[in-house]
Structure 1
C-alpha cells in the first residue's frame, strides 16, 4: 500500500459548484476509482486560499496502468469536463501533472 497526497487550487467562483459535484459523485467515477486500486480517497478544501488537498491509498501493483485506466474511462473523462474548469494547477507541478503530487515526510498509524 502506498499513501499519496496532492494539491491544486480551486477557482473562488467555482467553490459551490465543486462542492455540489463532490456531494454526489457519479457512481461510474467511484467504480473506476475502486477498480484502479484506490482506497480512502479524500479531498479537503482550505479557504480562503482555495487550496484542495487530496489524499488516497494505492493498493495495486501497477500504478501507471491503473492511472491510465482512469484516464481512458469515458465516464471519468466526462466528469473531468466538469471538475477541471473549477481548478487551477499549481505552477510548481511536474510536467504532465494536473494535481501537484506531494512527498510524504511523516505518517503515524
Structure 2
C-alpha cells in the first residue's frame, strides 16, 4: 500500500460548505474511489492559510491517473469549483507532496 499526499487551496470563508459537501459525499464517488484502490482518505484544513492537506492510501498510485476520465469525478470537481482553487477542467489545483518521514 502506498501513501499519497497533496495540498489544495480552499477559498476564504468556505470551510463549513466544504465540510458539508464532504459530509454528504456522493455514494457513487465513494464507490469509484474504492474501486480505484483508495482507502483511508483524509483531508485536513489549516485555517490560518485555508490550505487543504489530503492524504490517502492507494494500492497502485498509477491508477489515480485514470480518475479524471470518470464522469462522476468530473461532476464532483465542477460541484466543488466554486469553493476552491480549480484548473480550467474543473479539477482542483493540487500539489503533490513528497514523503520525507514516516513512522509506522
TM-score, length-scaled by structure 1 = 0.81
Number of residues paired by the alignment?
A: 99
The corresponding residue for 2:82 is: 85
Question: Is 1:67 the equivalent of 2:73?
Answer: no
| Root-mean-square deviation over aligned CA pairs | 1.7
Structure 2 unaligned residues grouped into runs of 5+: 87-91
Structure 1 unaligned residues grouped into runs of 5+: 90-96
Q: After TM superposition, list the pairs within 5 Å mapping 1:1-109 onto structure 2.
A: 1-60=1-60, 63=62, 66-88=63-85, 98-109=93-104
Between the aligned partners of 1:77 and 1:101, the Cα distance in structure 2 is: 19
